[in-house]
Amino acid sequence: MNPESLAAAVLAVLAPIAEERRPGEPLGVSVKDIVLERPRNRDHGDWASNIAMRLAKPFGTNPRELAQQIADGLAAVDGIASAEVAGPGFINIRLDAAAAGALAKVIVDAGTAYGTNTSQEGVSVNVEFVSANPTGPLHIAHTRWAALGDSIVRLLLASGARAVREYYINDAGAQMDRFAVSILAAAKGEPTPEGGYPGAYIATLAGRVLEARPDLLQLPESEQSSVALELAYEFQLAEIKSSLDRFNVPFDVWFSERTLHAKDASGTSLIDQAVDRLREQGHVFDEDGAVWVRTTDFGDDKDRVIRRSNGEYTYFAADAAYYLNKGDRGFQNKIYLLGADHHGYVHRLKAVAGAAGEDPEKNVQVLIGQMVSINGARLSKRAGNIIEMDDLLDWLGTDALRYSLERSPADSPLDLDPELLQKRTNDNPVFYVQYAHARTHNVARNAADSGVDRSEFAPETLTHESEAALLGALQEFPRIVAFAAEVREPHRVARYLEELAGLYHRWYDNCRVIPQGDDPVETVHRTRLWLNDAAGQAFRNGLDLLGVRAPERM
């Protein structure tokens, strides 16, 4: 019996009580309104509900009296061993072993689908993250959003949403001009121009550009910069993609900013069209020769110039055009993952949503992340003033880095301990979880060698308290996934896996899958193998949502 079926049972018991107390009136409660929670003290049962406390007043009774009526009804439901009233009106529910244990087979049969749900069905979401300028390597400031953004999309997909990972390539504007002159200066053996990009990686890129175009410096000066820029841009973007691949972060869409500036057959760009569309909504006005958007109507601290008096568009214009383009591609909801220094973008993007006729509180969400530091991390020799993502991956590995970045809320600063992340001990959270998964495989291998298979399944034999606790945690996985997707918080999955690992290790210490000595293989051993394999599946599915490997041996 899973939480959904138990909630349905509670609702079925409530219906005649409601009719008795309020004849002819609708119940006004659905399965989704039946909140079930795991009691902190397992002696109190498998599930607890406060539904009686919520409905006592409209039912014209006191919470304990209503709770007792519900508990009496639940006690007669198949699969429920007992239901008792506690405190001011809580209902503590205990499942019988067979009903609780049946979950093990459900999980094994579901395989990779276990944990998926439909809570986000019908929702389309564009998640934009990282979006670093293609003028240098990815660094430590990008790693956290790379990990979190990817996992948020994995959670949304697992919950039934249509979701994509999008990388906005800032390949237009002044930073590209500085990049071009930096590459060209390095190609000529000249020092970095003022305001240019320093670092040995620029010299390396320049060398690759000269290798690809040996005639670069023989071209007319008017062409040298553009040729150098396009080649260096191509090489640097390829390096960024390679770093993200190593980090197990696949992007579905690479959106070039140049797309927004490109003119169509009619001579207009997406930015031109965006200004016209916002004007049609009534939020654009002209003043002092410039074009403005009245973003203060939507909580911004000041109105924004979208086109200057000299006819040039501002960065805000590109932001607006990009936002509208996402909607044109069918994404009703847009999530932006931005760094701690981008708080100003929150009101700006919400204002764009409002000016476009959308709901700023629903259609756009801006997540601001705090910085991450790693003790002992060395600045990149190539870039000079940053810690590169590739160096971190070489040092700590993808699994340790991703897991450690994802196990804390995004808005909390992180200071990672590299010595801990490289330890093969239970103090290291990623090792602790991965080892638990590897142990499920070891148990399965040893079981096969000892003649224990899954030819029988008798859930009523899973009576040990550690089995009840493990099954209870496994039961929670789909709800954890759904909630983590709803609140965009992958750390909830990581913390769940750590709790599950602890319960699995405790079960392993108390319940044998393989008979002792010459004892025969019994039904309980075969049934426990189902439970072992169910735990392994949950570990795999959870780690996959975090983009972390689930090794079979460690």
Q: Same domain, yes or no, for 113 and 179? A: no
Q: Same domain, yes or no, for 339 and 209? A: no
Q: Same domain, yes or no, for 167 and 178? A: no
Domain carrying residue 35? 3-95
407 neighbors 492 (Cβ within 8 angstroms): no
Residue 432 covered by a domain:
yes
How many residues belong to the chain? 554
Residue 416 covered by a domain:
no
Q: Same domain, yes or no, for 336 and 296? A: yes
Q: Same domain, yes or no, for 166 and 303? A: yes
Q: Is 338 helix (H, G, I), strand (E, B) or coil?
A: strand
Q: Identify which of 2, 34, 36 has the alpha carbon closest to the alpha carbon of residue 15.
A: 34
Helix axes 140-158, 523-545, angle to 10 degrees: 130
Residue 390 covered by a domain:
no
Q: What is the CATH number of the domain that holds 7?
A: 3.30.1360.70
Residue 297 covered by a domain:
yes
pLDDT in tens, the chain (554 residues): 778 889 999 999 999 999 898 888 888 888 888 988 888 777 788 899 999 999 999 988 999 999 999 999 999 999 999 999 999 999 999 988 888 899 999 999 999 999 999 999 999 999 999 999 999 999 988 999 999 999 999 999 999 999 999 999 999 999 999 999 999 999 999 999 999 998 899 999 999 999 999 999 999 999 999 999 999 999 999 999 999 999 999 999 999 999 999 999 999 999 999 999 999 989 999 999 999 999 988 888 889 999 999 999 998 999 999 999 999 999 999 999 998 777 778 888 999 999 988 999 999 999 998 888 888 787 666 767 788 999 999 999 999 999 999 999 998 888 899 999 999 999 999 999 999 999 999 999 999 999 999 999 999 999 999 999 999 999 999 999 999 999 999 999 999 999 999 999 999 999 999 999 899 999 999 999 999 999 999 999 999 999 999 999 99
Exposed e or buried b per residue across 144-160, where buried means at least 16 C-beta atoms within 10 angstroms of its C-beta: bbbbbbbbbbbbbbbbb
77 neighbors 65 (Cβ within 8 angstroms): no
**Separation CA 253–CA 325 (nearest Å):** 13
Q: Same domain, yes or no, for 187 and 252? A: no
Per the structure, how many domains does the chain have? 4
Boundary-marking domain end, from 209, 231, 246: 246
Long-range interactions of 258-265: CB distance < 8 A, separation 24+: 258/171, 258/172, 259/325, 260/172, 260/318, 260/321, 260/322, 260/325, 261/172, 261/318
Q: Same domain, yes or no, for 154 and 264? A: yes
Q: Same domain, yes or no, for 242 and 252? A: no
Q: Same domain, yes or no, for 206 and 266? A: no
Residue 375 covered by a domain:
no
Q: Same domain, yes or no, for 283 and 352? A: yes
236 neighbors 135 (Cβ within 8 angstroms): yes
Instruction: Note the pTM of the prediction, 2 decimals.
Output: 0.91
Q: Same domain, yes or no, for 254 and 240? A: no
Cα atoms found within 13 Å of the Cα of residue 17, Cβ hemisphere only: 25
Q: Same domain, yes or no, for 291 and 333? A: yes
Residue 391 covered by a domain:
no
